[in-house]
Structure 1
Amino acid sequence: MARAVMLQGTGSDVGKTVLVAGLCRAAHRRGLKVRPFKPQNMSNNAAVADIPGEAAGGEIGRGQWLQALACGAPPSVHMNPVLLKPQTDIGSQVVVQGKVLGEARARDYQVLKGQLMDAVMDSWAKVGEGADLVIVEGAGSPAEINLRARDIANMGFATGAGVPVVMVGDIDRGGVIASLAGTHLILPEEDRRMVAGYLINKFRGDVSLFNDGIEAIGQFTGWRCFGVVPWLKAAARLPSEDSVVLERLAAGERRALKVAVPMLSRIANFDDLDPLRAEPQVEVVFVPPGQHLPQDAGLVVIPGSKSTIGDLLQFRGNGWDRDLEAHRRRGGHVIGICGGYQMLGRKVRDPDGIEGGVREADGLGLLDVETVMEPEKTVRNVGARSVAFDLPLSGYEIHLGRTSGPDCGRPVAMIDGVEDGATSADGKVFGTYLHGLFEADAFRARLLESLGVKGGGLDYRAQVERALDDIAAELETCLDCDAIFALAR
């Protein structure tokens, strides 16, 4: 079994994913064969990873896909054996080792978790095969002791696998001394023994001003401080992991082209927009419920959704359908991706109730197509080619449903020789099932040019790689990485 160390947080969104990615890249730069692992993740931002021995792919969280990139390793479903994809306020789709197990309400899932530990430990053994080091990411917080009995994400895993823990506290949100001291106080003794120390994340300003804070945390906990991490500006150049960050993306700096993205309640894979956000002439604005789509937007992108019909009904409830009609009357362009593509059609049908109780809904009517939800899920990485620009594309598909209709006669892409997507007669509206199409640099430049904006010159994937290198270099400076890696056992 490979040596391993685990990062857990005093709460959600303390920066664990980026820190694990940075430490993975730091270990990789040292010549170590390092792998990421997250026993349980909750996110509708999913990636397609290999399922060993199978031609089809499986789903993992985008965070583990990014961490695999930081390791210089192909992503595997075993890096994130349990993925929860929220569909309603009380229930989620449960994906185990890349494949859909079914749907579960929150209360039912607490019982199911006991059965999932076998899958977690099976994947844990597979990830560690041949690796020098595995860096594990927790989920949420171990301080949620009401969930400890069947925990598979934090201390339940750490104690079961014998993996030492470094606790992460977020000073940006305030109360970091209390959060660390409080976590120490309420952890059972068995769990407390797994914690080897802590680090502080997202510090702004003169680190020496927190020396008294470090002393106080030491007095309360006895834990060692492995360092204080500054606000990592390079993290903004990394793909977005989950919807927690959306409220920070609701406003942007005015640029040549404004792209409006409605924040659907079950928004999925919105990191599709990250390459556009990276373009210097493009302002991407995520529009929260209760606000109108901006009238000065040149392009509206309707992103993926984990609940197409539910989000379609809420789209109308927000009045965004009227905003979209006005946008079209002004000559604006519209792109729908995956669930957003399905919404753009005339009708969405769900005869088997796969997404919920509503079996049919009228679409937005901007494309002459209809979608029928089907039980079989398409999950695969693909190579493709843009029909409009005759340029290469690459990305992945994760979707239920089949879409057909007259506008499919004007496809967006050719995927393995098969037509994908649909385009309106005037060419200003199109939809596709291809996630990741904006990552293709040449295609993105031509698309922006067609919208009157000069693009080009940005190598998006190289930017992500540089960001990982920058974060790793900064962590080597502010953390005792030697000591953290030496903890691994």
Structure 2
Amino acid sequence: MARAIMLQGTGSDVGKTVLVAGLCRAARNRGLSVRPFKPQNMSNNAAVADLPDRPGGGEIGRAQWLQAMACGVPPSIHMNPVLLKPQSDVGSQVVVQGKVFGQAKARDYQQLKPRLMEAVLDSWTRVGEEADLVIVEGAGSPAEINLRPRDIANMGFATRAGVPVILVGDIDRGGVIASIAGTHLILPDEDRKMIVGYLINKFRGDVSLFDDGLLAIERFTGWRSFGVVPWLQAAVLLPSEDSVVLERMASGRARALKVAVPMLSRIANFDDLDPLKVEPEVEVVFVPPGRPLPEDAGLVVIPGSKSTVADLIDVRANGWDRDLAAHRRRGGRVLGICGGYQMLGRVVRDPLGIEGRVTEVQGLGLLDVETEMEPEKTVRNVAARSVAFDVPLEGYEIHLGRTTGPDCLRPVAVIDGVEDGATSADGKVFGTYMHGLFGADAFRRKFLESLGVRSSGIDYRAEVERALDEIAAHLETHLDCDAIFAAAR
């Protein structure tokens, strides 16, 4: 087995994903064969990974896809053996080693965990066989001691696999001394002994101003500090895993094109919009529930959803259907991706109740198509070609359902010789099942030009690689990476 070290947080969204990605890139830059691992993830941002019997077909958290990129290796289903995808009243979809295992409500899931630990440890062995070093990411916080008896994501895994832990505290949210000292206080002895030190993340300003804070933490815990990480500006170029970050996204200054994105309750794979966010002339605005879509938006994107039916009902409850109708009357463009594409049609049917109790709901009527949910899920990476602009596309599909209708005669893309998507007669509304459209630089440039906006010509993939290198360099500067890698065992 490879040596391993695990990052656990004092809470959710403390920056573990970016830190693991940065440390993976730093280890790779040192010539190590390194892999990421996250025993259990909860996210509707998923990526495609190969199943043992065929290319693609498997799902993992998008964060582990990013971390695999940082390691310079293809993503594997074993990097994230348990993925929970929150749905509506049926609870969460449980994906185990890339395949859908079933549905589970929170209480039922707790009973499943002992069985899931077997899959976690099997994947752990497989990942470790390929590497010199494995960097593990926890989920939530080890201080959630009410969940400890059946835990597979934090100390339950660390103690079982014998992986030392570094605790991550987020100073930006305040109370970091109390959160680290409090974690030390309430952990049982077995878990406390697994922690070899801590680090502070998201510090703004002069790091030396926190020297007394480090002394206080050492006094309360006896743990060593591995360093203080400054606010990492390059992290904005990396895909976000958790939709909680959308609540903090500001629109920034006005630009040539405003893109409005309704924050669906079960929004999925919203990193589809990331390449647009790096364009200097594009302003991407995520609109929270209860607020209208901005009237000055030139483009509205209905993003992916883990529960099309439930989110379509919410679209109407928020009045976004009326906003979209007004947007169309003003001549605005509309794009639907995956679940958003399904919502744009005349009706969505779910006769088998795959998503919940509602078996049919009226669509937004902006495309002359209809969708029927089917039990078999499409999960694959795809290479395609844009019909409108005749440029190559690369992306992926993760969806249930089949969409048909007259507007499908005007497809958006051709994937392996098969037409995908639909376009309205006036060409201003279109939808596709393909995620990753805007990551194709040539398509993004042509698309923006069709809206009267000049693209910067950025190579988006190269920008993400550059961001990973920059983050790795910052971690080498501000953390004792020698000590972190030496602590792995």
Hey, what's the Cα distance between the residues in 2 that align with 1:89 and 1:462? 40
Aligned pair 1:333/2:333, yes or no?
Answer: yes
Matched residue count? 489
Please give the residue correspondences for 1:107-146 in structure 2 after superposition, counting only pairs within 5 Å.
107-146=107-146
Aligned pair 1:77/2:115, yes or no?
Answer: no
Hey, what's the Cα distance between the residues in 2 that align with 1:28 and 1:359? 49
Letter in 1 for 2:417: G
Give how far 1:89 is off: 6.9
Hey, what's the Cα distance between the residues in 1 that align with 2:193 and 2:322? 58
Give how far 1:57 is off: 2.1
Match of 1:253 in 2: 253
Give how far 1:51 is off: 1.6
- State the Cα deviation string for residues 8-37 of structure 1 (Å, max 9, x = none): 000000000000000000000011000000
Structure 2 gaps, min length 5:
none
Aligned pair 1:469/2:469, yes or no?
Answer: yes
Match of 2:302 in 1: 302
Match of 1:478 in 2: 478
Match of 1:275 in 2: 275
Letter in 1 for 2:365: G
So what's the TM-score if we normalise by structure 2? Answer: 0.99
Match of 1:442 in 2: 442
Given that 1:343 and 1:364 are in contact with CA atoms closer than 8 Å, whether structure 2 keeps it comes out as: yes
Match of 1:36 in 2: 36
Please give the residue correspondences for 1:80-229 in structure 2 after superposition, counting only pairs within 5 Å.
80-88=80-88, 91-229=91-229
Q: 1:322 to 1:250 in 2, by over 3 A?
A: farther
- State the Cα deviation string for residues 370-417 of structure 1 (Å, max 9, x = none): 000000000000100000111000000000000000000000000000
Given that 1:250 and 1:288 are in contact with CA atoms closer than 8 Å, whether structure 2 keeps it comes out as: no
Given that 2:49 and 2:75 are in contact with CA atoms closer than 8 Å, whether structure 1 keeps it comes out as: yes
Match of 1:352 in 2: 352
Letter in 2 for 1:247: E
- State the Cα deviation string for residues 76-129 of structure 1 (Å, max 9, x = none): 010000000001378210000011111100000011111100000000011111
Given that 2:48 and 2:56 are in contact with CA atoms closer than 8 Å, whether structure 1 keeps it comes out as: no
Structure 1 gaps, min length 5:
none
Letter in 1 for 2:138: G
Q: 1:240 to 1:161 in 2, by over 3 A?
A: same
Give how far 1:130 is off: 2.7
Taking only aligned residues, the RMSD between alpha carbons, in angstroms, comes to: 0.8
Aligned pair 1:392/2:381, yes or no?
Answer: no
Give how far 1:461 is off: 0.4
Given that 2:345 and 2:371 are in contact with CA atoms closer than 8 Å, whether structure 1 keeps it comes out as: yes
Match of 2:232 in 1: 232
Q: What SS does structure 2 have at the residue aligned with 1:435?
A: coil
Hey, what's the Cα distance between the residues in 2 that align with 1:328 and 1:447? 18
Aligned pair 1:452/2:479, yes or no?
Answer: no
Give how far 1:237 is off: 1.0
Hey, what's the Cα distance between the residues in 2 that align with 1:104 and 1:250? 34
Hey, what's the Cα distance between the residues in 1 that align with 2:212 and 2:8? 23
Letter in 2 for 1:309: V
Given that 1:250 and 1:287 are in contact with CA atoms closer than 8 Å, whether structure 2 keeps it comes out as: no
Hey, what's the Cα distance between the residues in 1 that align with 2:288 and 2:252? 13
Match of 1:263 in 2: 263
Given that 1:378 and 1:398 are in contact with CA atoms closer than 8 Å, whether structure 2 keeps it comes out as: yes
- State the Cα deviation string for residues 248-280 of structure 1 (Å, max 9, x = none): 225332100000000000000000000011111
Hey, what's the Cα distance between the residues in 2 that align with 1:103 and 1:453? 44
Letter in 1 for 2:453: V
Hey, what's the Cα distance between the residues in 2 that align with 1:259 and 1:312? 20
Aligned pair 1:378/2:364, yes or no?
Answer: no
Letter in 1 for 2:335: I
Hey, what's the Cα distance between the residues in 2 that align with 1:55 and 1:81? 17
- State the Cα deviation string for residues 355-379 of structure 1 (Å, max 9, x = none): 0000000000000000000000000
Q: What SS does structure 2 have at the residue aligned with 1:149?
A: helix
Hey, what's the Cα distance between the residues in 1 that align with 2:246 and 2:110? 27
Given that 1:386 and 1:413 are in contact with CA atoms closer than 8 Å, whether structure 2 keeps it comes out as: yes
Given that 1:36 and 1:79 are in contact with CA atoms closer than 8 Å, whether structure 2 keeps it comes out as: yes
Hey, what's the Cα distance between the residues in 1 that align with 2:94 and 2:67? 22
Give how far 1:59 is off: 0.6
Given that 2:93 and 2:104 are in contact with CA atoms closer than 8 Å, whether structure 1 keeps it comes out as: yes
Hey, what's the Cα distance between the residues in 2 that align with 1:321 and 1:88? 20
Match of 2:68 in 1: 68
Hey, what's the Cα distance between the residues in 2 that align with 1:338 and 1:451? 22
Q: 1:277 to 1:89 in 2, by over 3 A?
A: farther
Given that 1:441 and 1:456 are in contact with CA atoms closer than 8 Å, whether structure 2 keeps it comes out as: no
Given that 2:88 and 2:355 are in contact with CA atoms closer than 8 Å, whether structure 1 keeps it comes out as: no
Give how far 1:454 is off: 0.6
Match of 2:312 in 1: 312
Hey, what's the Cα distance between the residues in 1 that align with 2:257 and 2:48? 31
- State the Cα deviation string for residues 205-224 of structure 1 (Å, max 9, x = none): 11111111111111111000
Q: Which moved more, 1:204-213 or 1:405-414?
A: 204-213
Hey, what's the Cα distance between the residues in 2 that align with 1:214 and 1:89? 45
Match of 2:47 in 1: 47
So what's the TM-score if we normalise by structure 1? Answer: 0.99
Letter in 1 for 2:254: R
Match of 1:430 in 2: 430
Letter in 1 for 2:444: R
- State the Cα deviation string for residues 58-91 of structure 1 (Å, max 9, x = none): 1111100000000001000100000000013782
Hey, what's the Cα distance between the residues in 1 that align with 2:19 and 2:55? 32
Hey, what's the Cα distance between the residues in 2 that align with 1:56 and 1:457? 30
Q: What SS does structure 2 have at the residue aligned with 1:354?
A: coil
Given that 2:49 and 2:56 are in contact with CA atoms closer than 8 Å, whether structure 1 keeps it comes out as: no
Match of 1:58 in 2: 58
Letter in 1 for 2:117: M
Letter in 1 for 2:479: L
Q: Which moved more, 1:84-93 or 1:137-146?
A: 84-93
Q: Which moved more, 1:47-56 or 1:448-457?
A: 47-56
Hey, what's the Cα distance between the residues in 1 that align with 2:466 and 2:251? 25
Give how far 1:242 is off: 1.8
Give how far 1:53 is off: 3.2
- State the Cα deviation string for residues 183-211 of structure 1 (Å, max 9, x = none): 00110100011000000000111111111
Please give the residue correspondences for 1:279-298 in structure 2 after superposition, counting only pairs within 5 Å.
279-298=279-298
Please give the residue correspondences for 1:355-370 in structure 2 after superposition, counting only pairs within 5 Å.
355-370=355-370
Given that 2:351 and 2:359 are in contact with CA atoms closer than 8 Å, whether structure 1 keeps it comes out as: yes
Give how far 1:300 is off: 0.2
Match of 1:404 in 2: 404
